[in-house]
Structure 1
Amino acid sequence: MDSHPEQITLRPKDFFCTYDIEVLTEMQVAAVDVKSKIAVFKDGFKMEYNKLLIATGNTPKTLSCKGKEMENVFNIRTPEDANRVVKLATSKNVVIVGASFLGMEVAAYLAERAHSVSLVELEHVPFKKFFGERVGRAVMKMFENNRVKFYMQTEVSELREQEGKLKEVVLKSGKVLRADVCVVGIGKGCSSCCLSLGAAPLSWQEERPQDQLPGPWNTGHRSCNFWLSP
């Protein structure tokens, strides 16, 4: 979590030059005309294509409770986010919402750096959906032995502040946790749904019917399948 972006970059810049890959940064595609095969950017620039692959990743879900916009409440999306969490959490009280891979990784990293680490989760053991209850309990026990406190089968009802900064996390169980930093890892939604594909509305289904237009394709972690409605 204290790594710099250049340390974890998948490919160096010269890789893209070598393979004649043009990278357009700080640009956003707002719409795609799938019949004419044209991508329309937010600034009005248009680009024709032969094949289109949508790999826009995910948008993290946020808390819906009071105080969710408060300072020191984080959805970690970038190396800079992670760096800031480490800086603010050192020797402080940290509450992590969600015993997902992200939440557990953050808890593991901060266990020896923060004053306290509390983890809030709706399920009764971590990772049950992925590895089963037995493995989940074993992982949970290992974390507890390393100073991580679990609050299971509950969720956050309110974030309280003092002088504009996070001070407490209130759970629906009634428990109040001291918190200087809160990291939220409660899942993600597909980001590509923000695109407008032609004049037709966007429909989400499990399979693409054969009479629909070929492409575009959507891929990546937790990608969503979609096609144009008739």
Structure 2
Amino acid sequence: MAANPPFVIAGAGLAGAKAAEALRGGGFDGPLVLVGEEDERPYERPPLSKEYLQGTSPREDVFVHPQNWYEENGVELRLGVPAAAVDPGGHTVTLADGSSLPYAKLLLATGSSPRRLPVGGENLDGVHYLRRLADSDRLKETFRTASRVVVIGGGWIGLETTAAARTAGVQVTLLEAAELPLLGVLGRETAQVFADLHTEHGVDLRCGTHVTEITGENGHVTGVRLHGGERIEADAVIVGVGITPNTALAVDAGLEVEDGIRVDAALRTSHPDIWAAGDVASALHPLLGRHIRVEHWANALNQPATAARSMLGEDASYDRLPYFFTDQYDLGMEYTGYAGAGTYDQVVFRGSTSDREFIAFWLNQRRVLAGMNVNVWDVTAPIRTLVTSRLPVEASRLADVGVPLTEVFAEG
């Protein structure tokens, strides 16, 4: 009698590793194969731009599981051979080395890739993108040897690598196309907090700027040229202009794709035996009533448990609120909820933005959509309650630090 085909997980990052863990924890004792493009076993990405990049945590801490965990739990690791094609009808995955894997059920946890900067000189030596452990290793070495770095892009990766470079004593020019870093994500007043933070730490912040060329000599970067002709010298350039979900497998397999692989609340794709989780998944969120794709660590950490339950035939729904965090210099921040551009009509601040100790709340029709606590701790749970309750709040009480967050709801 032929052996049962395995459950296959395509993508050996945090989401893939946590899915394997959840399947075993959920009682699945059949064959399980985890396929990944990189040679490294699964690791977490936040340390790559935070504590590992700054040298405050060891390399071993980035890995999701100890090396022996996979063998002890009967998880077959196939590293360095990414999935190249999926045949939903034949229930097979073809790997990059030409080999073929049958599957009973398949989870796509293929993550995302850095968006490339479409200018001349983008491929010069000394131009860095940060996505993989090896990228972080190269940046750590760069910070030891470079004196001047240009960072292109004022999103989370750009700001965190800027903070790491300045902490290492490197001069940094940060270039952002918008009027402020994070303007589209946080809105003007909150974005200004991060702009001020970096300028106070000696960053040459240039907003409203556009790079037209990365210049080089003898194959190595020497600087960047801006629209208008100005050239900024640099020993290295870091590009952080966003990421793109790795949907090629899904597209070629005929799965529904729209800003990621489209899945239901149970993380099942348009094919009944294929699921998706992590950066690549555009999931129907029960509370929000819409599909969202969240490019943050918490999704890759928590979504796989829901996918695993669904793969095992259980009723499952992923209803956790989006959550992310950042650490830059002496600023620590947590963000809970979802307040996309155009979804809110009011921002309420509780505390002091000038002292960088506050909570910002995004509201729509007096209901809290999201909250961001900056250097204020142990408030994630009450912020989550404010969002999930969907009850109207009194803005004046929400802003008053003397009123407990449990007592800000409107009366009547």
Is TM-score (shorter-chain normalized) higher than 0.5? Answer: yes
State yes or no: 1:143 paired with 2:193.
no
**Bigger Cα Rg:** 2
1:204 to 257, 267, 292: 257
Q: Deviations over 1:151-193 (max 9, x none)?
A: 1112210111123321121111433211110000101111131
Deviation at 1:87, TM superposition (A): 1.9
Query: Separation in 1 of the partners of 2:263 and 2:196?
Result: 44
CA gap of 1:139–1:213, structure 2 versus 1, over 3 A, is closer
Question: How many angstroms apart in 2 are the aligned matches of 1:172 and 1:37?
Answer: 51
1:109-128 counterparts in 2 under 5 A? 109-128=164-183
Partner of 1:228: none
Percent identity, please: 24
Report if the CA contact (8 A) 1:37-1:48 is conserved. Answer: yes
Between stretches 133-142 and 11-20, larger displacement belongs to 11-20
Cα deviations by residue, 1:107-153 (Å, 9 ceiling, x for unpaired): 01111324410111111112223322111101110110101111111
Distance 2:174 2:59 in 1: 27
- Read off the aligned partner of 1:184 and give its amino acid letter: V
Give the SS at the match of 1:52.
strand
Q: Would you tell me which structure has more helix in proportion to its own residues?
A: 2
**Secondary structure, in 3 states, of the residue corresponding to 2:281?**
coil
Residue 129 of structure 1 aligns with which residue?
A: 184
Counterpart position of 1:63? 117
Say which SS state the counterpart of residue 237 (structure 2) adopts.
strand
Task: Give structure 1 stretches of 5+ with no counterpart.
Answer: 226-230
Q: Is contact 1:32–1:196 with CA below 8 Å preserved after alignment?
A: no
TM-score by length of 2: 0.50
C-alpha spacing 1:202/1:49, structure 2 compared with 1 (3 Å): closer
Aligned partners of 1:34 and 1:197 also within 8 Å: no
Local SS of the residue matching 1:204 = coil
Query: C-alpha distance in 2, partners of 1:164/1:147?
Result: 29
> Which letter does structure 1 place at the counterpart of 2:257?
W
Name the SS of the counterpart of 2:247 in structure 1.
Answer: helix
Residues 98 and 128 of structure 1: is their aligned pair in 2 closer, same or farther, counting only changes over 3 Å? Answer: same
Aligned length: 222
Match of 2:79 in 1: 25
Aligned residues of 2:250 and 2:256 also touching (Cα < 8 A): no
Tell whether the 8 Å contact from 1:89 to 1:181 is kept in structure 2 after alignment. Answer: no
Point out where structure 2 has 5 or more consecutive residues left out of the alignment. Answer: 1-52, 265-269, 284-412
For the residue of structure 2 that corresponds to 1:24, the secondary structure is: strand
Output aligned runs, 1:207-218, within 5 Å.
Answer: 213-218=271-276
CA distance, structure 1, for counterparts of residue 69 and residue 82 of structure 2: 23
Match of 1:10 in 2: 64
Shift of 1:6: 2.3
Provide the C-alpha distance between the structure 2 equivalents of 1:183 and 1:104, rounded to a whole number of angstroms: 11
Q: Give the letter aligned to residue 193 of structure 2.
A: A
Letter in 1 for 2:154: A
- SS of the aligned residue for 1:86 comes to helix
Q: Name the amino acid aligned to 1:133.
A: R
The correspondence of residues 28-177 of structure 1 with structure 2, limited to 5 A, is 28-90=82-144, 91-177=146-232
2:233 to 165, 173, 178: 178
SS where residue 120 of structure 2 aligns?
coil
State TM-score, norm by structure 1.
0.86
**Equivalent residue number for residue 221 of structure 1:** 279
Separation in 2 of the partners of 1:107 and 1:79? 18
Tell me the distance in 2 between the aligned counterparts of 1:86 and 1:66: 25
2 CA distance for matches of 1:208 and 1:16?
Answer: 28
